A and B are shown apart, each in its own frame.
Chain A
């Protein structure tokens, strides 16, 4: 075994894992917000995420055609695209809630879950339909923004690109904003009240439907931002791109303790790191017997082990029995 090589790539793998983890964390925030309030898993969140990615690529391609892509400074460009992706995804999430979830609010728990899976399929093919009619394309490529591709060499074996820094920065900023919003504002208090007891909250004069819609709005916006950043980071998207990252982000949310905002972040990071280390190290450590293709199996096995010892997730609290 080549110990020198193992050590040499360690910092880079750690960094790759962190970037991937922050990406999962961004998506996981949307799952966890909704679950925190409704105890319901919004499986359509992966498509809300992809919708953001598609809005982003359409705007960038539009700007590219207009010849403005190189003219605008990149922070402005990125802010514009992020804002557009967040807006569309947020509105989409609210619409989905209004159309597919709210009518089922009183129904047994499995019913909205099935509705969510249906919405997920519907949105996948809706995006595919729109893109095939509009561009006759399946895979869309994010135009390269050169400034985001710049790499800083930290050591001989470690470097980081601007876009990776953007992902990390955006994820931390959003976590901060979200945490402040939920714990320090009046709206946040209302959200927590609805999460605790909808009937009681409504007796205190809180408009439960509005608060729930707001939760979807915030979760959707997070998803849209994650979609744009995913596109910028990895370059290629298609209507089904959301499925795997969505599933992993959901897992990350469960791992961190679903319903818990810092937990989603922690879960994302743990999953991202596990995956990166498995993909980079498995074949080196096993002499090629197990390769990168086992990264998910490895990551999910670790996940099961963690959940056996902490069934409510890393930061999950023991929830009081409800009346």
Chain B
């Protein structure tokens, strides 16, 4: 190609690009601009079932509660981002999110290991993040003003698990497996520390990133014959593990944290996990009386039952919208700082309980459940039996 032709092509490209860019003038003259709410959760990959639920929960909330803001003259939009449950992708998305000045808050993430580095980016511009699902203590213990969550914490959840194992199941020995993520290893360590304190014998504490072949991990477990196996991790890895363990003749009871709380667990593991226990900070919508209508609307609109954390995402989004409303009093486009400050003052009775934040951004009191899997039919995941429910205050920051 001759240099002249290249120049001509470049000039044309620039001209086209300029023509496509709005010339800076307000496009909708009577509107006061667009307010965007971002969601970040895994929308593709093995954890998409839960991530999609978070996005849809937020979408439903935006559609139902955008009225007041629209009356003030704003357009309200939801912009979903796919963090693929990977820290690097979450951070890259976060860079794009803070660059978009119209985004006033983020609902997300699913994985603590993604939320923690991503929120470092949000913090640069004091952009609010309300998490529906991140349970690792470090999410809020860093004391960032812009980070909130509507769910409980792993330092409590792990203890709830070990208390149940000790007090109710009366287990004497446990073998602990975790997935080496911030979340999975974190909750497994809290479980282990408290179980040790209670005198439960820890027969093994093993981390693995393996996804298909668990034979070499199961063989030593079977030989040691523990009363309980605790899996700190997420269902897509725990499912094959539990299935292979049962098939190999391991008789121990199974237990795990809220990462196992998805209908995909029984889809993968089938009969092997029926009867197992898991602790969670987000019970199925059936345990919340106020969430009945939400579940019906969700099913009607999206044609499937809400996965765990969808209701939490709904509540988190409503809180964010209320804060934006409060910050937009007087009809001016609110700043990110104003929105972040306003969230702290919101006291909101949502479908999953009343949420009020302490100064770290934790809910002052959070619900914890112990659940039991009742059926190997994924459709019946929502009917899992609630064995225990506890309301526990967020622990204060340890100095």
Which A residues are within 8 Å of any B CB, using their own CB? 5, 8-9, 12-13, 16-17, 19-20, 128, 132, 138-139, 141, 144, 149, 151, 157, 159, 161, 230, 233-236, 238, 241, 244-245, 275-280, 283-284, 288, 291-293, 295
Write out the residue numbers on chain B whose beta carbons fall within 8 Å of the beta carbon of A233.
Answer: 213
Report yes or no: A141 in contact with B267, Cβ–Cβ below 8 A.
yes
**A5 to B226 CA separation, bound complex (whole angstroms):** 14
Chain B interface size, under 10 / 10 to 19 / 20 to 34 / 35 or more: 35 or more
Contact B211 A161 (CB under 8 A): no
Bound: A144/B272 CA distance, A: 12
Q: Mark B192-223, 1 if CB is under 8 A from A, else 0.
A: 00000000000011111111110111011011
Output the least CB separation between B203 and chain A (Å): 10
**Judging by beta carbons under 8 Å apart, are B220 and A284 in contact?**
yes
**Residues B266-311 near A (CB distance < 8 A):** 267-268, 270
Check A139–B268 contact: CB distance below 8 A.
yes
6 closest Cβ pairs, A-B complex: A279-B216, A16-B215, A234-B212, A276-B216, A280-B216, A9-B223
Rounded to whole Å, the gap between the CB of B186 and the closest CB of chain A is 16
Which residues of B sit under 8 angstroms from A284, Cβ to Cβ?
A: 220
User: Which residue of A238, A280, A288 contacts B217 across the interface (Cβ within 8 Å)?
Assistant: A280
Complexed CA–CA distance, A151 and B215 (Å): 14
Shortest CB distance A229–B (Å)? 12
Complex interface: chain B residues within 8 A of A139 (CB): 46, 236, 264, 268
In addition to A234-B240, A236-B211, A288-B205, 18 A-B residue pairs with Cβ atoms within 8 Å of each other are: A5-B220, A9-B220, A9-B223, A12-B223, A20-B213, A138-B48, A139-B264, A141-B267, A151-B249, A157-B223, A233-B213, A235-B244, A236-B212, A244-B211, A278-B216, A280-B219, A284-B220, A295-B216
Q: How far is the CA of A19 from the CA of B208 in the complex (A)?
A: 20
Asked if residues A159 and B249 are in contact (CB atoms below 8 Å), the reply is yes
Q: Is the CB of B270 within 8 A of A144?
A: yes
Query: A19 vs B210: C-alpha distance in the bound complex, in angstroms?
Result: 16
Contact of A13 with B216 in the complex, beta carbons under 8 Å: yes
CB distance from B263 to the nearest CB of A (A): 12
| Majority DSSP secondary structure for residues of B touching A | helix
CB of B96 within 8 Å of the partner chain: no
Give every chain A residue within 8 A of B243 (Cβ-Cβ).
235
B44 touching A293 by the CB < 8 A rule? no
Does the CB pair A235–B48 fall under 8 Å? no
Whether A292 contacts B206 by the Cβ 8 Å rule is yes
State which of B204, B222, B236, B239 has its C-beta within 8 Å of the C-beta of A283: B204
Whether, in the assembled complex, B247 has its beta carbon less than 8 Å from a beta carbon of chain A, the answer is yes
Give the residue of B44, B205, B212, B219 whose beta carbon is less than 8 angstroms from that of A138: B44
Residues of B within 8 A of A149 (CB): 247
B46 partner residues in chain A, CB cutoff 8 A: 138-139, 238
A295 surroundings in chain B (CB, below 8 A): 216
For A141, give its contact among B180, B205, B220, B268 (CB under 8 Å).
Answer: B268
Is the pair A291, B247 in contact by a Cβ cutoff of 8 Å?
no
Nearest opposing residue in chain B for A19, CB measure: B215
How far does the alpha carbon of A132 sit from the alpha carbon of B43 in the complex, in Å?
12
Q: Is the Cβ of A16 less than 8 Å from the Cβ of B216?
A: yes
Residues of B within 8 A of A (CB): 44-46, 48, 180, 204-213, 215-217, 219-220, 222-224, 236, 239-240, 243-244, 247-249, 264, 267-268, 270
Give Cα A128–Cα B84 distance, bound, in whole angstroms: 14
Q: How far in angstroms is the closest Cβ of chain B from A155?
A: 12
Instruction: List 30 A–B pairs whose Cβ atoms lie within 8 Å, in order of A's numbering.
Output: A5-B220, A8-B223, A9-B223, A12-B222, A16-B215, A16-B219, A20-B216, A132-B44, A138-B46, A138-B48, A151-B248, A230-B212, A234-B212, A234-B240, A235-B212, A235-B243, A235-B244, A241-B211, A244-B211, A245-B212, A276-B215, A279-B210, A283-B204, A291-B207, A291-B208, A292-B206, A292-B207, A292-B216, A293-B180, A293-B208
Number of A-B contacts (CB under 8 A): 100
Closest chain A residue to B235 by CB distance?
A: A139
Contact of B220 with A280 in the complex, beta carbons under 8 Å: yes
Answer whether A291 and B216 are a contact pair too, CB < 8 Å, given A141-B267, A157-B223: no
Closest beta carbon of chain B to A26's beta carbon, Å: 14
- Most A Cβ at <10 Å: residue of B216, B224, B247: B216
Contacts of B213 in A (CB 8 A): 20, 233-234
Q: Are B207 and A236 in contact (CB under 8 A)?
A: no
Are A20 and B215 interface neighbours, CB within 8 A? yes
B352 to chain A, nearest CB (A): 27
User: Which of chain A's residues has its CB closest to B179's CB?
Assistant: A293
Q: How far does the Cβ of A283 sit from chain B's closest Cβ, in whole Å?
A: 6
What is the distance, in angstroms, from B384's C-beta to the closest C-beta of chain A?
19
Q: Using CB atoms, name the residue of chain B closest to A23.
A: B213
User: How far is B219's CA from A283's CA once the two chains are assembled, in angstroms?
Assistant: 13
**Given contacts A5-B223, A139-B268, A293-B180, are A236 and B240 in contact (CB under 8 A)?**
yes
The CA of A292 and the CA of B210, in the complex, are separated in Å by 9
Q: How far apart are the CA atoms of A5 and B225 in the complex, in Å?
A: 11
A128 nearest in chain B by CB position: B44
Cross-interface CB contact of A275 among B216, B220, B248, cutoff 8 Å? B216
B44 and A5 within 8 A (CB): no
* Set of chain A residues within 8 Å of B220, measured between Cβ atoms: 5, 9, 280, 283-284
Q: A241 to B212, Cβ gap below 8 A?
A: yes
Residues from chain A with a CB closer than 8 A to the CB of B180 are 293
Chain A nearest CB, measured from B39 CB (Å): 19
Write the chain A residue with the least CB distance to B47: A138
Chain B residues, CB < 8 A from A241: 211-212
- Residue of A16, A19, A149, A288 with highest tally of chain B CB at under 10 A: A16
Decide if B247 touches A161 in the complex (CB within 8 Å): yes
For the complex formed, measure the closest distance between the CB of A70 and the CB atoms of chain B, giving whole angstroms.
Answer: 15
Q: Is A12's CB under 8 angstroms from B219's CB?
A: yes
Closest chain B residue to A164, Cβ basis: B215
Q: How far is the CA of A17 from the CA of B48 in the complex (A)?
A: 32
Q: Which residues of B contact A19 (CB under 8 A)?
A: 215
Closest CB-CB distance, B47 to chain A, in whole Å? 9
Q: Are B270 and A293 in contact (CB under 8 A)?
A: no
Residues in A whose Cβ lies below 8 Å from that of B205? 288, 291
A14–chain B nearest beta-carbon distance, Å: 10
- Report the Cα distance A283→B205, complex, angstroms: 9
B205: nearest chain-A partner, CB-CB: A288
